[in-house]
Amino acid sequence: MVCLSLHQEWQNKARQEIIDVFGTQELHFEGLKHLKIVTMILNEVLRLYPTVVKTLRETHKETKLGNMTIPSHVNIIISIINVHHDPEIWGEDAQEFKPERFSEGIANATKGRSGCFLPFGGGPKICIGQNLAMTEAKAAIAKILQRFSFELSPSYKHSPSAVFSLPPQFGAHLILQKI
């Protein structure tokens, strides 16, 4: 909601898509699958503000990674936040909120390196709840956008605080207006 408050044009695009799919009626699962703009927005938010900023993995056997050989039982910290903000992967605008980068899917957004988008981890330890989380996020944002518009309060101070995740250090002060 913070990103949509900062980028009203995307809030309006998402609301229009939700109205086109559901109108003012109740949400249904089939309709949630057709929310392409909302999905692009959620992916971009998860890229900029991943659910977890880093993850730890351990090699179980000697592993070749590029031109390096990593011995068995070495812990590797993967900085998801750095991968998600890397200009070599995402372009020079990697720090900017641009949901359109996901308009042709994750593989195109990462220039064929889909392993570089890790909002729910990756590989055999990927979050088993990722589909449920995305469905719930779509439903929540759809319910909110059907009924409200919102903007940032003048008291809002943008300050993501990297702990385990990236919560806003001083909260997310929003002003909601019923539509």
CA–CA separation, 121 and 92 (whole Å): 24
Give the Cα separation of 135 and 37 in Å (integer). Answer: 14
**What confidence tens digit (pLDDT) does each residue in 55-89 have?**
888 999 999 988 999 999 999 999 999 999 999 99
Contact 80, 50 (CB under 8 A): yes
Q: Which residues contact 58 (CB under 8 A, 6 or more apart)?
A: 73, 74, 75, 76
> Above 80 in pLDDT, residue 165?
no
Burial 88-118 (b: 16+ CB within 10 A, else e): ebbeeebeebbbebbeeebeebbeeeeebbb
Q: pTM (2 decimals)?
A: 0.90
Domains held by the chain: number: 1
- 127 has binding-site annotation: yes
| 69: Cβ contacts below 8 Å, ≥ 6 apart | 62, 63
- Picking from 141, 154, 150, the residue whose alpha carbon sits closest to that of residue 44 is 141
Which backbone phi and psi does 85 adopt, to 5 degrees? -115, 15
At residue 111, does pLDDT exceed 90? no
Percent of the chain with pLDDT over 90: 78
Own/partner pairs, 56-61, CB within 8 angstroms, 24+ separation:
57/125
Domain that holds residue 99: 2-178
Q: What's 114's domain CATH number?
A: 1.10.630.10
For the cut 80, the answer to whether the pLDDT of residue 8 exceeds it is yes
Q: Which of 21-30, 82-91, 148-157, 159-168 has the lowest mean pLDDT?
A: 159-168
